[in-house]
Amino acid sequence: MKFGIELVPNEPVFKIAAYTKAAEERGFEYVWITDHYNNREVYSTLSVLALATNKIKIGAGVTNPYTRSPVVTASSIASVNEIAGGRAVLGIGPGDKMTFEALGLAGEKPLAAVRETADAVRGLLTGKKVSYDGSAVKLKNAKIDFADPKKTGTDMNIPIYIGAQGPKMLEAAGAIGDGVLINGSHPDDFKTAAVQIQKGAETAGRNIREIDVAAYTCFSIDDDPEKAYAAAKPVAAFIIAGASDVLLERHGVSQEIKEEIAGAILKGDFIGLNTIVTDKMADRFAVAGDFDECLAKVKELEKAGVTQLVAGSPLGPNKEKSIKLIGKMILEF
Ligand code: F42
């Protein structure tokens, strides 16, 4: 099992750099920075992280085909890779539809847009001229000059991970991804996902073992399990409020509860949320608890096919302490 950390750049970049450095020191192999237009810009953040660290792989987790064209994505991640001495990784997903409304974006044909963007970015990272006539991506002799390894000496063979949840996107990830980043925290999510990833991999003549299956979890750890659950519940509530019917059904949450949670969020009633979201419910949408409980849950995820555990928001009531506790867990694997 590999370990990664997801950080949301909604805090000053230098703070994100301090968390990343602490994570690197504790044995995390990956840091993933989310991409939402209302937060700090992802590639500027990654550049600072590249300079602040030596070993940890640094990734956009995840960008999308709509707010940036494939050439901008390729040139941005290649720049980060050069600064980081070859440690960059790239996540591409269909993007957060809720934020697209504010930007006047429709997010059309997400499957084609993600597949073609990943394909075009891979081509551009060779430093050769790329012409592409897809349904979502069109390029004519586009070329990222400095991506040619003969020019800079940096290998731009940057692994591409697909951010996916829906069955078709998971299948696409199996066909084209070096890895897949799945927003999920329960073994059932990964048992279901494995079937789709496998299907996509088989169609493309690949083996699922070639694909790094990353659980992008809602993670909350603390010596005091009650505090860990209390920190996880508001995040789990947001996940439930935005969950598809299929996901709710898989985890036994009714539409009535979903609506009750959405109503409490709308009112800003976070105390109410902590009672509506029971511990049992939190267990379906988060990895929460003290060290032993979280360790046991991570082991269950490994059994369900997860090859990278990405510890995501909130991490716990105290981020620095959580990074140390997860570092202790890394030593157990
Ligand atoms: N979103 C962000 O905006 N920023 C982030 O930093 C971010 C991180 C992240 C990390 C992990 C992860 O798993 C997701 C993450 N996301 C992030 C969310 C991500 O961008 C997606 O919103 C989320 O993963 C949901 O995507 P999905 O895989 O469920 O795909 C959607 C589009 C979907 O509906 N998929 C369906 C499926 O079965 O997979 C297929 C839809 C389909 O068939 N579409 C047709 C087509 O041709 O593409 C068109 C249908 C029509 O009616 O137009």
Sign of CA dihedral 217, 159, 94, 115: negative
Would you put residue 95 in left (φ > 0), alpha (ψ -120 to 50) or beta?
A: left
Count H helices and E strands in the chain, helices first. 15, 11
Mean pLDDT for each 10-residue chunk of the chain (333 residues)? 97 98 98 97 98 98 97 98 97 92 93 98 96 97 92 90 96 98 97 97 96 98 97 95 92 95 90 91 97 98 98 97 98 91
Rounded-to-integer distance, Cα 286 and Cα 294, Å: 10
Residue 146 DSSP label: G
pLDDT value, residue 150: 83
**Residues of the domain holding 68:** 2-224+286-332
Specify if 177 maps to a domain: yes
Answer whether residue 238 is part of any domain. no
Structure tokens belonging to residue 151 = 């020019």
Say what the pLDDT of residue 84 is: 97
pLDDT recorded at residue 151: 82
The tokens of 185 are what? 């925290």
Q: How many CB atoms lie within 10 A of CB 155?
A: 11
Q: Find the residues whose C-beta lies inside 6 A of ligand 1.
A: 34-36, 61-62, 64, 93-96, 109-112, 163-169, 181-183, 216
* pTM listed for this prediction: 0.97
- Measured in Å, residue 124 CA sits from the centre of ligand 1 at 23
How confident is the model at residue 149, as a pLDDT? 83
Residue 224 Cα distances to 23, 163, 291, 294, angstroms: 21, 32, 9, 12
Number of domains into which the chain is organized: 1
To test ligand 1's pocket by mutation, which of 16, 42, 183, 285 has the most ligand atoms within 8 angstroms of CB?
183
Residue 232 lies in a domain: no
**What is the distance of C-alpha 289 from the center of its chain?**
22
**Sequence-distant contacts of 132-136: CB under 8 A, at least 24 apart:** 135/109, 136/65, 136/108, 136/109, 136/112
Please tell me the distance between residue 96's alpha carbon and the centre of ligand 1 in angstroms: 7
Residue 245 forms part of a structural domain = no
pLDDT value of residue 152: 80
Instruction: Work out whether the CA dihedral 288, 293, 295, 301 comes out positive or negative.
Output: negative
DSSP string, 241-269: HT--HHHHHHTT--HHHHHHHHHHHHHT-
Give distance in angstroms: CA of 333 to centre of ligand 1: 31
Neighbours of 180 (CB within 10 A): 31
In a domain, 259, yes or no: no
Q: What is the DSSP letter of 158?
A: -
The answer to the question of residue 256 being in a domain is no
Query: Residue 147: which CATH number?
Result: 3.20.20.30
